[in-house]
Amino acid sequence: MTATQPKNLVISIGVDTGGTFTDLVLQMDNQIYTHKLLSTPDNPAQAVLQGIKEIISQASDLGHIQYQLNITHGSTVATNILLERNGAEMALLTTQNFEDLIEIGRQNRAELYNFDVDQPEPLVPSPRRYGVVERMLHTGQPQTEIDCDQLGQLINQLPEVEAVAVCFLFSYVNPSHEQITVDMLQQKFGQTLISISASHQILPEYREFERFSTTIANAYVQPKMQKYLQFLDTKLTEQFGPPHTIGQPKLQIMQSNGGSISVKTASQIPIRTALSGPAGGVIGASAFSQIAGYDRVITFDMGGTSTDVSLCDQKISLTTESKISGVPIQIPMIDIHTVGAGGGSIAQVDIGGALKVGPESAGADPGPACYGRGDFPTVTDANMFLGRIEPNHFLGGKMELYSAYSTRVINKLAQQIGQPQTDTAEGILQIANATMSRAIRRVSVERGYDPNDFALFSYGGAGGLHACFLAESLSIPTVIVPPHGGLMSAMGMLLADTVKDYSQTVLWSMDQDILQRLSNRFSQLKLQADQEMQLEGISSDLIQYQLSLDLRYVGQSYELNVPFETKFDTHFHQLHKQRFGHSRPDFQIEIVHLRLRAVGLNEQADIGKKSKLLEQDSQATGQPFTQKVVAFGQPLITNFYYRRDLLKNEIILSPAIVFELSTTTVIPPNFTGYVDSWKNLILSPV
């Protein structure tokens, strides 16, 4: 650190905790630093804290200079709690005679003609679901006032629980009965003994099953999530706080909607942090692709455990319909489709004797066989066997891999299915690619988009190994592989704005005064948003609002979201035709929900244009460092490049493999590539 540098630095770190690796990106002035280490699934904070320590020491010796430390963290804790079903012991207080609503659910079935489908167990078992004497009408008028004596008896009889969900009918119209219940619970248990989630606070929207399910999921993950966030926040202050920093480190938590929130807010509504890691990747991919001149991209994030894909047509796509481990979660999320195909996906023979890949994963421990601990062949082992991963260049040579172990498990699987070893390895990759190809079709073709009109933006630790093969199978004309592609989710977290979403169910028909009525209601939501964004520490001059409406034709049971503008009805007809192939301009439109997104702009979010990130390495040669034989259906002499050696605007001779710290990119013989002015690899079929 030189004497000419400013006294008060701002250091921003994005941290993405994945199933296999924990990724970190640090921004300091015009410098970008990256780091990657194995995750610690039993205690995710351990890898987070260790990674922050190592990347700060990598950046420089900051011992004699104070700095402001900002950290944005994408956590898998809430997601894993739902996947592993190890959340809180909890109770449900709901309108009497509706105790079993969450078990009955909706009547739509994924397997229409299967009458014996296994349904996921409710997060609250039947003995801990209690009916409260009360009933609110859809108008907001009480049909039956809440019986406080009966409620008090129920509260006194509650078993020992860590959390309670309060879900009454039509509380989104009139929450008074839920508020009374929350007050009585707090009087009994205090503010800290149990976690309380009320549906009018978590999801003030109609459709009671989805509202109940989302609220219950929030209560289920809240105790563990609170402990994790409090532990991490405390340790950050202890290890990285004053005297090194100016004040306490500021910890922001990534949300599934692509924005960040404070630790306090994330502790209150932790369900909004589920799937936050993939959301960070889409934020980064959208920003970097637009900088490079591509505003229509399909994002492809292949990690160690799973693959996440999303479609960005000039903007990021959002949805309010998601499921995690079979549990409906109806909060705003980036529209991401996830499949169980990653570098650690296990290849095995199914009961019918066919080769199967995933969704089971070797994870970080034991990991693929080539890590030296696992005994199962994985997608990574198949790539290793075919020569597409170099043992000496994984993680920049920081992690030793063992190709002999990959050969051993591939050979064992080949004997099981009676195929040559090379065919077996290529078969593993073809099956994984088919799974990921279906995911891309799901977010594009099945929604009225032609993949040929988009570029494939590839990132994640394993994305570059498979991107060209997927593009070829789907006729996608261009593949973009950004610098530090294996760290894109962490990179996106540095770009994330502070975001809070608000909604209100109205169920209005169109009339002459509709624009004025909508404007008045949005003004009320803005007042609430202003107050809460100030509590997040966002000044009013940095707040922007995005207004939208959920619309449907009268009689439909599903909605489409369109921006709130003068001709929003015309936009709805056009979107309906694109999505479903038809529209009915002569039909009456119903306004179901108003949605307001408050965005607190991130003043540090200019990482994509940082000059140091884009500078050509002065030592770059443009030449491969070696050539080796790699299997591409047949053995071919292949150029091996270091990413840092690639020169801008020069053609890369294929077949080629490009190595960098966070990922490896395979360029098959039928593709050509070059490095653009933003240091992206731009790959296209010949």
Q: What is the pLDDT of residues 535-589, one digit of tens each?
A: 888 988 899 999 999 999 999 989 999 999 989 999 999 999 988 989 999 999 9
**Residues carrying CATH 3.30.420.40, the chain:** 9-81+225-273
| pLDDT at residue 607, as a whole number | 60
User: What is the enclosing helix (H) or strand (E) of 116?
Assistant: none
DSSP structure class, residue 295: -
Alpha-carbon gap, residue 226 to 179, rounded angstroms: 22
Query: What integer pLDDT is reported at residue 399 of this predicted model?
Result: 82
- In this prediction, residues 599-628 reach a mean pLDDT of 70
Q: Which helix (H) or strand (E) holds 7?
A: none
Task: Determine the Cα–Cα distance for residues 258 and 318; give it in Å rounded to an integer.
Answer: 9
The amino acid at residue 501 is D
Short-list 647, 635, 686, 638, CA closest to 665: 638
Structure tokens at 479: 């593949």
Say if CB 542 and CB 601 are below 8 A apart: yes
Fold of 9-81+225-273: Nucleotidyltransferase; domain 5 (3.30.420)
| Residue 664's pLDDT band (cuts 50, 70, 90) | very high
- Tens of pLDDT along 413-453? 999 999 999 999 999 999 999 999 999 999 999 988 999 99
Give 447: exposed, middle or buried? Use CB within 10 Å, 0-12, 13-18, 19+.
middle
CA–CA gap between residue 600 and residue 597 (Å, rounded): 10
CATH of domain 498-601: 3.30.1490
What string of H, E and C letters represents the secondary structure of 417-444? HCCCHHHHHHHHHHHHHHHHHHHHHHHC
What's the pLDDT band for 611 if we cut at 50, 70, 90? very low
- Rounded to whole angstroms, the Cα distance separating 124 from 103 reads 9
Residues of the chain with CATH 3.30.1490: 498-601
For residues 237 and 256, the answer to whether their CB atoms sit within 8 Å is no
pLDDT-derived band at 47 (thresholds 50, 70, 90) equals very high
Q: Is residue 1 over pLDDT 60?
A: no
